[in-house]
Chain A
Amino acid sequence: MHAFAYERPATLAEALALMQAHGSAARLLAGGTDLIIRLRDGSARPSVVIDVKRIPELDPGIRVDAGRLVIGARTVMTDIAADAHVRRHFLALAEAASVVGSVQIRNRATLAGNICNASPAADTAPPLLVYDATVVAAGPDGTRRIPIDAFFVRSGVTTLVPGEIVTAIELPVPDGPLGAAHQRRTRRRGHDLASVTLSVAIGGSGTTRLAYGSVGPRPVLHVDGSGVLADASATAEAKARVFEAAFADASPSPRSMRAGPDYRLAMLRVLGARAVATALDRLAGE
């Protein structure tokens, strides 16, 4: 690994000042499970690494505040997957967090880090999309709240502006019953990067929010207001039509070594149907 300077700001203000001072030469270090790999393979060569783990404003923790679940930026996957609030209201997020890497990875990897990397394959992106999460970012000009669907641009790129730091992720606590599920395809059962990720959340009103990733430059959200997916008695043909519309934005790369585009597109439909079935079961159990 190349040599770099290490900074460990004690406050958010200090961190923001360091970001200002170093600009693109700096990289933020949260869980490090992605950054350290990139530092070692040379694909990231910052001259300064800013460790955000001692910043109280980013403290780990999950709390409900005014109808929103607030997940501190440094909260790790292990804690998200095990959290009672998350499991009760945001099961698809718990499911996604519990399949990110191995136990050792989940003990370090943060939710904020996962979305800031903006990997198209990030497992937590689809559930955050279906739950309509908001990213809270602090910057030199104050705090900004970015709807998650407006956060992802493409692999490695978000709408964060230089100098901004994600401090929390917020999810609105559903005001009615909601059934949700997360599905993924991998090359083995043990931890693996997904070749398709997909989440659905079906509300009592019949609206289905469906999001998927790893089949294009960024994860995609599709909201189905027709009620077809939520209708257990809808025909397979009717559901297929909805899926066609939902997956119209999928554009898997033919260059990927994890799966071929035709397999990925076919699996979107399989996972979609399975996730909807599971979500409906869960909704019925609410």
Chain B
Amino acid sequence: MTQTIPIALTVNGRPRSAEVAAHHTLLEVLRDDLGLTGTKECCLVGECGACTVILDGRSVDSCLMLAVEADGADVLTVEGLATDGRLSPLQQAFLDKGGVQCGFCIPGQVMSAHALLAHTPHPTRAEVEEGLAGNLCRCACYEQIFEAVLSTAEAAAAADEEAGR
């Protein structure tokens, strides 16, 4: 018999509660129970990163954790990046630099890049390569994705300088 467990978590800043099956992954609950289909399903073995979300500040493959493990956690998905209908600078840079082709890997790429910049605001190219290595892009617009991430970091640094920070 399927055991269901009540969980409460914060998703994209909103408190959410759900009655989840013990054996369902966070990915399944986000997509099927909470209707957040921006997070994508591909390899289900933690290799492709299409399901990347940010859990308590760290990027994780949502296919490799049970939803019940996220009880009490703060989860950020791709749907939570834009605010008031405005794209985040990173999302905008992905469009401006041509980091998006078919788009299926992009929610994961953007989340990994978001986490990378949160921890390493001024990454080198090597750090970007390493930071995004867990997100496969078969269209292979890696070069453009790097440009998007690096230019977002540069723009943030320039804005900080401008503001005297």
Q: Taking the complex as a whole, does A directly touch B, i.e. does some CB pair lie under 8 Å apart?
A: yes
Q: Which residues of A contact B (CB under 8 A)?
A: 1-6, 8, 29, 32-33, 36-37, 39-40, 49, 51, 53, 78, 101-105, 107-108, 190-191
Q: Are B66 and A36 in contact (CB under 8 A)?
A: yes
Q: Are A33 and B1 in contact (CB under 8 A)?
A: no
* One of B19-27, B31-39, B88-96, B147-155 at the interface: B19-27
* One of B10-18, B74-82, B97-105, B126-134 at the interface: B126-134
Partner of B65, one of A101, A102, A108: A108
Q: Are A40 and B59 in contact (CB under 8 A)?
A: no
Q: Which residues of B contact A (CB under 8 A)?
A: 1-3, 5, 21-25, 44-47, 49, 52, 58-61, 63-66, 68-69, 112, 115-116, 130-131, 133-135
Partner of A6, one of B46, B49, B68, B133: B68
CB distance from A282 to the nearest CB of B (A): 21
Specify the main secondary structure of chain B where it touches its partner: mixed
Task: Provide 17 A-B residue pairs closer than 8 Å at the C-beta atoms, listed in order of the A residue.
Answer: A2-B23, A5-B3, A6-B3, A6-B5, A6-B22, A32-B64, A32-B66, A32-B69, A33-B46, A36-B25, A39-B23, A49-B66, A102-B47, A102-B61, A105-B46, A107-B60, A108-B61
Q: Which 5 A-B pairs have the closest CB atoms?
A: A102-B134, A6-B22, A107-B58, A3-B2, A104-B61
Closest residue on chain B to residue A82 by CB atoms: B119
Q: Are A33 and B3 in contact (CB under 8 A)?
A: no
Query: Do A105 and B134 form a contact, CB below 8 Å, given A29-B66, A36-B25, A37-B45?
Result: yes
Residues from chain B with a CB closer than 8 A to the CB of A8 are 68
Q: Are B64 and A37 in contact (CB under 8 A)?
A: yes
Query: Do A107 and B59 form a contact, CB below 8 Å, given A40-B44, A191-B133?
Result: yes
Tell me, in angstroms, the Cα distance from A53 to B71 when the chains sit together: 11
Query: Do A4 and B25 form a contact, CB below 8 Å, given A29-B66, A40-B44, A107-B60?
Result: no
Residues from chain B with a CB closer than 8 A to the CB of A2 are 23
* Tally of A-B Cβ pairs under 8 angstroms: 91
Q: Are B134 and A51 in contact (CB under 8 A)?
A: no
Residues from chain B with a CB closer than 8 A to the CB of A4 are 3, 22-23
Q: Are A3 and B69 in contact (CB under 8 A)?
A: no
Tell me, in angstroms, the Cα distance from A40 to B133 when the chains sit together: 24
Closest residue on chain A to residue B111 by CB atoms: A104
Tell me, in angstroms, the Cα distance from A103 to B5 when the chains sit together: 29
Residues from chain A with a CB closer than 8 A to the CB of B44 are 37, 40
Residue of A33, A53, A103, A190 with most chain B CB atoms under a 10 A cut-off: A103
Partner of B60, one of A1, A29, A39, A108: A108
Partner of B59, one of A5, A37, A104: A104
Residues from chain A with a CB closer than 8 A to the CB of B46 are 33, 37, 101-102, 104-105
Residues from chain B with a CB closer than 8 A to the CB of A102 are 46-47, 49, 61, 133-135
Q: Are A53 and B49 in contact (CB under 8 A)?
A: no
Query: Do A1 and B69 form a contact, CB below 8 Å, given A37-B64, A104-B46, A104-B59?
Result: no
CB distance from A12 to the nearest CB of B (A): 19
Closest residue on chain A to residue B44 by CB atoms: A40
Residues from chain B with a CB closer than 8 A to the CB of A190 are 133
Query: Do A3 and B60 form a contact, CB below 8 Å, given A51-B69, A102-B46, A103-B134?
Result: no
Q: Are B69 and A53 in contact (CB under 8 A)?
A: yes
Query: Do A3 and B23 form a contact, CB below 8 Å, given A101-B134, A191-B134?
Result: yes
